[in-house]
Structure 1
Amino acid sequence: MPLPAVSFEVFPPKTVDAAFRLWDTAQALAPLAPRFFSVTYGAGGTTRDLTHDAAHVLHRTSKLPVSAHLTCVGASVAETMEQAEKFHAAGVTDIVALRGDPQDGTDRFIPHPDGFKNSVELIEALALLDKFTIRVGAYPDCHPDAASQHANIQYLKRKFDAGADEAITQFFFEPESFLRFRDQCAAAGITRPIVPGILPITNWASARKFALCCGTKIPAWMEDAYAKAERDNRTELLSTALCAEMCSTLMDEGVDALHFYTLNRPDLTRNVCRALGVTPQSSLANVA
């Protein structure tokens, strides 16, 4: 079986200690020859400058492609496009274009008065520049704001029609969630790549809380498995086994690329990759 192409998501540091964790993560994972690193945007656009700086430094030090997140939240069209141009000037030519989470203190997305109303408008504007590879989000378990799974998939189709090159999914806990979604997208006429987003679980309570917020279905058997693993102090072993097994099942079903949400904690992701046969190819230099 061919080895999967891999990519890794990290988030920009807000402290010196967090900066060291980011660079440690890059050092640990860059030798696996990923297709790219993606760098997230804080909720409400709160890490806009940090995202730019982290993406720039990560690209310069790793010599690998970096895909910077860009959202519609809290900025005018002019400000958002200025940020895109800053990414391009820094050598970052891949963008993950997202609507973004609601700003602090709100429970729903409210567009900036002079901003993009949704991710489709942002994608259209980026595509007109003809400077970027554009990635977008996709939701196997249905976006919380979508009226139905049909609407969820039709909106993803609109993103591709607007100029997106590839989609990366929200994480999920069972391979069937992604495989069912992939089939539904194909039936809807979507032909562009959809890459499964994989979350190696370093903390079950945090993963469960985030899953509830973003509409990811939590299987009852997983609740039971982590309750027992936490009692026996075997959560890391369980997480490695479950994640590797899920990735292996996806590969058996023809999935050839995996995107890992690392949370700037590389060990579990690296162990899963090793279990899949993805091993170091090169070393990362000039990281300080």
Structure 2
Amino acid sequence: MTQSAKNLSLQEMHEARMALDTPLFAGLAGDAEISFEFFPPKSKKMEATLWDSLTTLAPMNPRFVSVTYGAGGSTRERTHATVARIIKETNVPAAAHLTCVEASKAEIREVAEQYWEAGVRHIVALRGDPPKIGAAFEPHPEGYASAADLVKGLKEIAPFEISVAAYPETHPDANCPQTDLDNLKRKLDAGATRAITQFFFSPDAYFRFRDAADAAGITGEITPGILPVSNVAQTRKFAGMCGAQIPQWMDDLFEGLDDHPETRKLVAATVAAEMCRRLYAGGVRHFHFYTLNRAELSFAICHLLGIRAQKMALTEAAE
């Protein structure tokens, strides 16, 4: 073990002991870096909700926010409009999602060039899910066959910062965990800056994955993706698509709360915050929150992690 690894182990032991011996969130330095994910709004009302959420979360000084991209380019225009507005009207770095699904290389180049012209410098590059749930992914005959190929192609278009996806509990299409790790390594070797994991509900799932990635020679940043759960049925649907496991104890915690939305939020914040604290104790200093366009849960968890909202105008740096 190298000296740096020994120092990290000692630091993690200290953090773990602190978490056991003191109040769980006492004395945190606020040194974690955060990012938030939104989806493009489908209506004026949803746009107002997204903007309210962004306004609430921006003072947390995220290193970026990202906006998702629907299967088969179904939200292409709305994604572009949302990202362009964030860049134009705020001081928050914005990343746009881009997928391989049902798009030729020429079409992806056109979209990427439009993003670059709009000021987008960060792409979340994904293979993407087929438009029809349960269908197998089929590459476009003139498109990119994988996320790794997409990363390589984007780097040839412009010097984007690129984030990619990782799967602590293995992508449903992978035949084994090692195959999934090999695919992650190809994406990072192709030029991706970091990987952001799909959500999970056990810190051990992340730590095992991080250790396996390290053993596979993956040295890039692997940021845990955090989904604060307030709707178990919706989360179960998401989990089925990405291979995440919902533990029985979580189902039990939310049982009987269907008619108590405020209580569900309290329980959701508690569960997610405790998991983040345990990740922090294990050395994690980057967190990516799947907000579902709602701010309150992510804001509360970040506050518990020691991050404080800064008194600044949303457009302060853009003016």
TM bin (shorter chain) = over 0.9
- For 2:169, the equivalent position in structure 1 comes to 141
Give the root-mean-square deviation of aligned CA atoms. Answer: 1.6
The total of aligned residue pairs comes to: 287
- For 2:314, the equivalent position in structure 1 comes to 284
Deviates more, 1:8-17 or 1:225-234: 225-234
Task: Please tell me whether the aligned partners of residues 202 and 268 of structure 1 are also in contact (alpha carbons under 8 angstroms).
Answer: no
Alignment of 1:54-203 (within 5 A): 54-104=82-132, 107-203=135-231
Show CA shifts across 1:240-278 (max 9, x none).
111110001101111011000001011111111112121
Q: 1:104 deviation in Å? A: 2.9
Show CA shifts across 1:49-78 (max 9, x none).
111110010112221211100001111100
| Equivalent residue for 1:275, pick from 294, 304, 308 | 304
Runs of 4+ in structure 1 over 3 Å off: 228-233
Unaligned runs of 5+ in 1: none
Show CA shifts across 1:210-234 (max 9, x none).
1122210111111111115447763
Deviates more, 1:225-234 or 1:204-213: 225-234
Q: 1:117 deviation in Å? A: 1.1
Q: 1:106 deviation in Å? A: 6.0
CA distance in 2, matches of 1:165, 1:232: 41
- For 2:58, the equivalent position in structure 1 comes to 30
Task: Please tell me whether the aligned partners of residues 65 and 93 of structure 2 are also in contact (alpha carbons under 8 angstroms).
Answer: yes
| Equivalent residue for 2:74, pick from 39, 46, 50 | 46
CA distance in 1, matches of 2:292, 2:72: 18
CA distance in 1, matches of 2:215, 2:134: 36
Q: 1:202 deviation in Å? A: 2.5
Q: 1:129 deviation in Å? A: 3.2
| Equivalent residue for 1:266, pick from 289, 295, 298 | 295
Q: 1:177 deviation in Å? A: 0.8
Deviates more, 1:125-134 or 1:21-30: 125-134
Alignment of 1:204-215 (within 5 A): 204-215=232-243
Write the letter of the residue equivalent to 1:260. F
Task: Please tell me whether the aligned partners of residues 44 and 104 of structure 1 are also in contact (alpha carbons under 8 angstroms).
Answer: no
Task: Please tell me whether the aligned partners of residues 194 and 223 of structure 2 are also in contact (alpha carbons under 8 angstroms).
Answer: yes
DSSP 3-state at the match of 2:180: helix
Show CA shifts across 1:24-70 (max 9, x none).
11101101100000000012210111111100101122212111000
Task: Please tell me whether the aligned partners of residues 138 and 167 of structure 1 are also in contact (alpha carbons under 8 angstroms).
Answer: yes
Write the letter of the residue equivalent to 1:248. R
Write the letter of the residue equivalent to 2:42. K
Q: 1:139 deviation in Å? A: 0.3
Write the letter of the residue equivalent to 2:59. P
Task: Please tell me whether the aligned partners of residues 103 and 109 of structure 1 are also in contact (alpha carbons under 8 angstroms).
Answer: no
